[in-house]
Amino acid sequence: MKVSRSVKVKNSMGLHTRPATVIVKMLQNCKSNVHFTCKRETVNAKSLLSILMLAAQRNCRITITAEGIDADVVVEKLVVAFEAEFGERLA
């Protein structure tokens, strides 16, 4: 199964080390291949350095693509995490 969704980076500092680390930890046990595409560059979302190399700034659009048996669940978890700004949103 292949699932794709588009999300917007809402974090004020973009996808810096902290949210990238959260993403990698979320994907540690997933069975699907997961990729992020931003500005015509596609990277492995399970790699911290690859995510950081995207240099995705605030308001940047990222397409999440997952392919595998748990693709739908993985993409939904990532969408929720992007919406919640990876826990950085001020209360």
Q: What is the rounded distance in angstroms from the CA atom of residue 91 to the CA atom of residue 89? A: 6
How many domains does the chain fold into?
1
Q: What is the rounded distance in angstroms from the CA atom of residue 69 to the CA atom of residue 77? A: 15
Q: For 41-80, what is each residue's pLDDT tens digit?
A: 999 999 999 999 999 999 999 999 999 999 999 999 999 9
CATH, residue 12: 3.30.1340.10
- Contact in structure between 63 and 78 (CB atoms under 8 Å): no
Annotated catalytic, 16? yes
Phi, psi at residue 53, to the nearest 5°? -70, -20
Considering only CA atoms, give the Rg of the chain: 12
Domain that holds residue 30: 2-87
Q: What is the rounded distance in angstroms from the CA atom of residue 64 to the CA atom of residue 47? A: 14
Quick one: pLDDT at residue 56? 96
Q: Which of 5, 16, 46, 77 is catalytic?
A: 16
